Structure 1
Amino acid sequence: MTSTARAPRSNGQWALDGPAPLNHNEEFKAEDDGLNVRQRVLDTYSREGFDSISADDLHGRLRWWGLYTQRRQDIDGSRTGTLGPDELSDRYFMMRVRLDGGAVTTGQLRTLASISTDYARNTADISDRQNIQYHWIEIEKVPEIWARLEAAGMQTTEACGDTPRVILGSPVAGIAADEVIDPTPVIAEIVERFIGDPELSNLPRKFKSAITGHPSLDVVHEINDISLVGVVHPDLGPGYDLWVGGGLSVSPRLAERLGAFVTPAQAAEVWHGVIGIFRDYGYRRLRNKARLKFLLADWGPEKFRDVLETEYLAYRLVDGPAPVIPDQPGDHVGVHTQKDGRRYVGLAPTVGRVSGEILAALADAAEAAGSGRVRFTPHQKLLVLDVDPDRVDGLLAAVEPLGLTAAPSPFRRSTMACTGIEYCKLAFVETKATAANTIAELEARLDGVELERPISLHLNGCPNSCARIQVADIGLKGQLMKSADGADEFAYQVHLGGGLASADREDAGLGRTVRGLKVTAAELPDYVERVTRSFVAGRAPGESFAAWSHRAEEEVLR
């Protein structure tokens, strides 16, 4: 009797199903590695112009070098989900500069500034991945930009695409007096050995990494594919606790500890092992199931650790301690003392928006204060390191006219926003200007309202959560909705009470949604004021916004 049972459907896991591509993204990656598009940019596209770029390079492989087409300026959010990439795309690019650990010298900062003013219409945004993001880039100018960046020791290699993206690193690595371990050598080793390696340039999807040795846990380790978090082993001394499988977007999942202690000497090899698992066992059939978090959800941390140790490391990792819950914020805003007695100064722009002119002036101000180093943070902030104590006041006075402050209001300090519809092809709503307007309104309306800690407000233009909406106190997801009369309406879905591990919350958690609640951009200041005042009136002593919003009745949250 012939069996009619179907064979299990392939998930495109190379180690189990073989490398046959199961969708168009996998087909174009198999046909030609994304890293190879660089030569075509140099030889053909930059000389023959935008129309010479092939479709798979334009909407695919160029991402391997940090380039996405930006949104056409005449297309509103009502057509975001209905038009194809060619219809949505302008003839200009967004470019991400890969800045692992967010670390630059003031000389490199001037290079970033000059590229902005010369080639990007003075645009420059600090992303929550410690990148600098330009807009209005023309393909004809890309070789000149690469040459400037690389001459200054920077790159766009694998800043986007199905690759190992920029490595988040503690902005105070090597300088903080209370640092557990300095991750700088590990980040440098990974970048030197593995970034641009064709063996790792065809992953199922993006792969996000974070490494910190600071007790503030300042790299949002719970939402990365791999994180190495500084801890002290009772016998082996300082090293790292290993976390895997975090990610947000439309299917948010927080990373899990594997319970494994990683020594500094093992760290790069362990990172390579985890990304190897993702490359070989990650799901490639469906793009929306291709992140590492889905594999971890199916395997569980015990199996994941076993496969890592037996198939990729050939040795067992020792068990280790979990990181201590932080007792300080991880954005490093303010003036702080370094281990050498000098100061580092954490400055807040407004939702990461700066410009080439601002970056150039910041380089001048930093050097006048005795500094040669600046770092960008995963919170859309920036730090000036190595400031002479007697020059701090002069630095603060110099950067204030640039829109940078070390003493921001709680709302300016804790508000983040993605690129939004201004440039992003996926967005439904505007974010940056809406966030800036909301901050200004809240500063006026809630001046004098006592908050033990800032209420974080994150705005995202689409469901993909580039601004981490599910782990904010108030997260806002831009959507095309229907009004009461059935007309199209642009509004935000509200998530409340998300957060990562902090002094007032022992465990990270995702926000809750309030049924039927939607807030337009015009209504946003009113809504945040209303829910903030409800929190202040209804909180228990010492209660966080997250804890309050998870227990409060829905009507109180509207």
Structure 2
Amino acid sequence: MQSFRTELENPVVEKDIIDLEQKIRDFREGKIHDEKFKSLRLARGVYGQRQPGVQMVRIKLPFGKVTFKQLLKIADISDEYASSNLHLTTRQDIQIHYVSLERTPELWAKLEQDDVTLREACGNTVRNVTSSPASGIDPQEVFDVSPYAHAVFAFFLRNPICQEMGRKFKISFSSSEADTAFSFIHDLGFIPKVKFENGQEVRGFKVMLGGGLGAQPALAHVVHEFLHEDQIIPYTESVIRVFDRYGERNNRNKARLKFLIQKIGLEEFLRLVDEERIANKVKSYKIDRDAVPQPEAPGVVKYPEVEITNPARYKHWRATNVFEQKQKGFFGVYIKVEVGDIPTAQARQLVDAISPYVADEIRITQNQGLLLKFAREEALPHLFNGLSALGLAAPGFDSVADVTTCPGTDTCNLGISNSMTLSKVLEDVVYSEYEDLIYNRDIKIKISGCMNSCGQHGLAHIGFHGSSLKAQGKVLPSVQVLLGGGIVGDGIGRAADKITKVPAKRATTVLRAVLNDYQANTNDNELFNDYYDRQGKDYFYQLLKPIADLTTLQDDEFVDWGHEETFATAIGVGECAGVVIDLVATLIFEAEEKFGWARQAFDDNRFADSIYHSYSVFISAAKALLLDKGVNSSTHAGIIREFDVQYVATGEIELSGSTFDELILQINKNEPSEQFAAQYLQQAESFVQTVKAKREALIQL
């Protein structure tokens, strides 16, 4: 494990990886509490699997961009450390499975050699920043949002304000009003806009705030019709600061930003955001528009004549999987990837097959496919043949036949019923019985293994999520059926309605019933959701009610898709975010560790970072003493309030004529200057010493 210490060029990354190695060792030796260690590894992309003793590793690929070399490196890593498979996610990441915990630092170090990171791919952090996969080549876009997504990713990576939030935070950039990055389900969603001032083009974004799916979907609020491009990072920073201070931390089911906005109201939330701006690291942040250059297109080559292996299928593929880019003469080519899985051997063959014909940049799509760029028209037959040989030329990308799914019970702790096999079965139904619908890009089918919507069932026109039912004294695998979700456009979206719950083995019957009714009763050129609205929710409940009848169950319906044994629910503890640490000694140790980070940041002239680390010192130390009194506040704001009530107002702790609120909340009343950073650092150090002395006195009692 020593090799990565000399091979990495970035000392910050190297320190990160060495720290993970040491923390793993400390955890194995019993020096770190399990929940603290879980939080630490999650923030480094290491997630416990359903199978005991192994990990899922999530590889963070900002806006889904990966080069041929990076894809090959990830394939090599999966062969050496995982299960020789790459899983594409709905957040444009790649996941590998069955990794030994002890090998994750070495794995991470090797990935970093090709500029690939695991950092903050999981946990209570800013997750992967996503964008429309076609950004940069989208004929509808007003400008390329890729550099903006990259800037946001880079600014918040390792940023102290978002390392230990109450819950994860998701950001997206759509390339146009088509909103193909789903701004309305994100904590912050950005849609590009242009206006003209004095004859000059000015770039900005429509800003959507507080969206989310999960068990309780919420559609985002429009908070800016036009926010200048230089303000998107300062605004995002202010939002995250408020979320970190006021967001729920004990009940993870109520800890997302959408619940905080529901609790205090949008107007109050926006007031707090405005109040935080003085503390921001930057008041304006100019985006480098050239930070993500377009990849070099293949040179002009006279391709040899080639015979199409399957002319009819090529026609379908060309109609559904290929589009002309905004760069005339070039085409984008989508690859439909069944259940998002690419075996490593197939990944290498894919790179060999496509590299002569497309640019060296692949984008992972939100429906678990791939997008290739800058193919010339004469190269398309060669691409089709090459993809066909690999089983990757299925037509119907992003159509009814392209079902999105999460891993479900295959590997996820939270999975209730199978989603991967069900996805394949539903696709087979479409291809074999509704071939004309492979051209239909209006209807989207999405599946999640549970209600948390990793497969995005909550925004599907036809959605399913894993569940269970009881019948005949036994439990059987089931799916909740949802209808009517989807994109409206320009930040407006629809959350799908729950219709009924049926045995999982009847999901195919549900799909047939809905598609048959749609074909029989839709008006000319009527979109699915217009047809759904016209018929009404109760119409579909009555349509599907006979399918939900449990008096006609067969024995095989007690066995889930892809399984041979009788179904039993086996839900583990979810790790989509860390768990609160309630150990007093651990919190005091954390406060001292964070003080070291604050001191180091100050010495490096990173004054804003030093100030936020000092703020975290106050919070950890105060929480430690509150726990001694059995007070476990669920927010930073609550900790501040309770510390004044329990210790300052009672005279147990004196703070030089100040309340704790006044002391700690200097942070949002001062510019992040060197002078204030020095003062705040000294105050944090003094506070920790006071807390330690109080704690030692309490122990002696």
TM-score tier (shorter): 0.7 to 0.9
1:159 and 2:121 matched: yes
Question: Which of 76, 92, 106 matches 1:114?
Answer: 76
Give the CA deviation at 1:405: 2.7
Counterpart residue type for residue 392 of structure 1 = L
Question: Which of 338, 341, 346 matches 2:334?
Answer: 346
1:529 and 2:512 matched: yes
Q: Please, which moves more after superposition, 302-311 or 125-134?
A: 302-311
SS at match of 1:240: strand
Aligned CA distance change for structure 1 residues 200 and 514 (closer, same or farther; 3 Å): closer
Quote the Cα distance in structure 2 between the aligned partners of 1:153 and 1:287.
32
Counterpart residue type for residue 213 of structure 2 = L
SS at match of 1:443: helix
CA distances 1:56-88 after superposition (whole Å, capped 9, x unpaired):
25543210011111112xxxxxxxxxxxxxxxx
Q: How does 1:413-452 map to 2 (within 5 A)?
A: 413-448=401-436, 452=440
Q: Residue in 2 aligned with 1:22?
A: none
Q: Residue in 2 aligned with 1:67?
A: 46
1:133 and 2:120 matched: no
1:290 and 2:269 matched: no
Quote the Cα distance in structure 1 between the aligned partners of 2:248 and 2:398.
41
Give the CA deviation at 1:197: 1.8
Question: Which of 464, 487, 490 matches 2:474?
Answer: 487
CA distances 1:449-474 after superposition (whole Å, capped 9, x unpaired):
69754532111111111111121111
Identity %: 26
Q: Residue in 2 aligned with 1:311?
A: 276
Larger Rg: 2
Give the CA deviation at 1:52: 9.1
Give the CA deviation at 1:300: 4.0
CA distances 1:282-306 after superposition (whole Å, capped 9, x unpaired):
2234221111001222344444334
Quote the Cα distance in structure 1 between the aligned partners of 2:390 and 2:67.
19
- Which protein has the bigger helix share? 2
Quote the Cα distance in structure 2 between the aligned partners of 1:337 and 1:406.
21
TM-score by length of 1: 0.81
Quote the Cα distance in structure 2 between the aligned partners of 1:197 and 1:271.
12
Aligned CA distance change for structure 1 residues 309 and 52 (closer, same or farther; 3 Å): closer
Structure 2, unmatched stretches of 5+, are 1-13, 285-319, 546-701
Aligned CA distance change for structure 1 residues 228 and 502 (closer, same or farther; 3 Å): closer
CA distances 1:14-40 after superposition (whole Å, capped 9, x unpaired):
xxxxxxxxxxxxxxxxxxxxx998545
Give the CA deviation at 1:152: 0.4
1:123 and 2:85 matched: yes
- Which protein has the bigger strand share? 1
Quote the Cα distance in structure 1 between the aligned partners of 2:233 and 2:388.
40
Q: Please, which moves more after superposition, 472-481 or 177-186?
A: 177-186
Question: Which of 10, 24, 34 matches 1:55?
Answer: 34
TM-score by length of 2: 0.65
Counterpart residue type for residue 181 of structure 2 = V
Quote the Cα distance in structure 2 between the aligned partners of 1:396 and 1:119.
32
Q: Is the 8 A contact 1:414 1:456 kept in 2?
A: yes
Quote the Cα distance in structure 2 between the aligned partners of 1:96 and 1:446.
35
Question: Which of 542, 547, 554 matches 2:525?
Answer: 542
CA distances 1:176-233 after superposition (whole Å, capped 9, x unpaired):
3432122222222222222112232011100001113334312111111001111223
1:147 and 2:109 matched: yes
Quote the Cα distance in structure 2 between the aligned partners of 1:221 and 1:54.
37
Q: Is the 8 A contact 1:348 1:413 kept in 2?
A: no
Aligned CA distance change for structure 1 residues 53 and 216 (closer, same or farther; 3 Å): same
CA distances 1:76-101 after superposition (whole Å, capped 9, x unpaired):
xxxxxxxxxxxxxx111001000111
Aligned CA distance change for structure 1 residues 242 and 346 (closer, same or farther; 3 Å): same
SS at match of 2:230: coil
Aligned CA distance change for structure 1 residues 530 and 200 (closer, same or farther; 3 Å): same
1:187 and 2:152 matched: no
Give the CA deviation at 1:108: 0.9
Structure 1, unmatched stretches of 5+, are 1-34, 73-89, 318-331
Q: Is the 8 A contact 1:213 1:231 kept in 2?
A: no
Q: Is the 8 A contact 1:205 1:290 kept in 2?
A: yes
Give the CA deviation at 1:106: 1.0
Aligned CA distance change for structure 1 residues 548 and 51 (closer, same or farther; 3 Å): farther
SS at match of 1:145: helix
Give the CA deviation at 1:355: 2.1
Q: Is the 8 A contact 1:273 1:312 kept in 2?
A: yes
Q: Residue in 2 aligned with 1:251?
A: 216
State the superposition RMSD in angstroms.
2.9
Aligned CA distance change for structure 1 residues 389 and 439 (closer, same or farther; 3 Å): same
1:200 and 2:162 matched: yes
Quote the Cα distance in structure 2 between the aligned partners of 1:433 and 1:411.
18
Quote the Cα distance in structure 2 between the aligned partners of 1:48 and 1:464.
29
Q: Is the 8 A contact 1:473 1:511 kept in 2?
A: yes
Q: Residue in 2 aligned with 1:512?
A: 497
Q: Residue in 2 aligned with 1:29?
A: none
Q: Residue in 2 aligned with 1:466?
A: 454
Q: Is the 8 A contact 1:334 1:407 kept in 2?
A: no
Q: Residue in 2 aligned with 1:501?
A: 488
Give the CA deviation at 1:51: 9.2
Counterpart residue type for residue 480 of structure 2 = Q
Give the CA deviation at 1:508: 1.8
Question: Which of 387, 409, 428 matches 1:399?
Answer: 387
SS at match of 1:359: helix
Q: Please, which moves more after superposition, 260-269 or 419-428?
A: 260-269
SS at match of 2:487: coil
CA distances 1:499-533 after superposition (whole Å, capped 9, x unpaired):
12259xx9422222224x3132x222222012110
Quote the Cα distance in structure 1 between the aligned partners of 2:38 and 2:376.
47
1:240 and 2:205 matched: yes
Counterpart residue type for residue 259 of structure 1 = H
Q: Is the 8 A contact 1:428 1:462 kept in 2?
A: yes
1:45 and 2:24 matched: yes
Aligned CA distance change for structure 1 residues 255 and 410 (closer, same or farther; 3 Å): closer
Give the CA deviation at 1:175: 2.7
Aligned CA distance change for structure 1 residues 338 and 112 (closer, same or farther; 3 Å): farther
SS at match of 1:271: helix
CA distances 1:128-150 after superposition (whole Å, capped 9, x unpaired):
00000110111232122111211
Quote the Cα distance in structure 2 between the aligned partners of 1:358 and 1:57.
38
CA distances 1:338-369 after superposition (whole Å, capped 9, x unpaired):
42632221111112122222222222223121
Quote the Cα distance in structure 2 between the aligned partners of 1:92 and 1:109.
23
Quote the Cα distance in structure 2 between the aligned partners of 1:346 and 1:94.
27
Question: Which of 64, 75, 85 matches 1:102?
Answer: 64
Quote the Cα distance in structure 2 between the aligned partners of 1:54 and 1:308.
34
Q: Is the 8 A contact 1:220 1:378 kept in 2?
A: no
SS at match of 1:523: helix
1:268 and 2:233 matched: yes
Q: Is the 8 A contact 2:174 2:182 kept in 1?
A: no
Quote the Cα distance in structure 1 between the aligned partners of 2:230 and 2:30.
48
Aligned CA distance change for structure 1 residues 111 and 49 (closer, same or farther; 3 Å): farther
CA distances 1:112-167 after superposition (whole Å, capped 9, x unpaired):
11112222111211100000011011123212211121110110100000000100
SS at match of 1:144: helix
Give the CA deviation at 1:249: 0.8
Quote the Cα distance in structure 2 between the aligned partners of 1:406 and 1:313.
53
Quote the Cα distance in structure 2 between the aligned partners of 1:171 and 1:411.
16
Aligned CA distance change for structure 1 residues 47 and 397 (closer, same or farther; 3 Å): farther
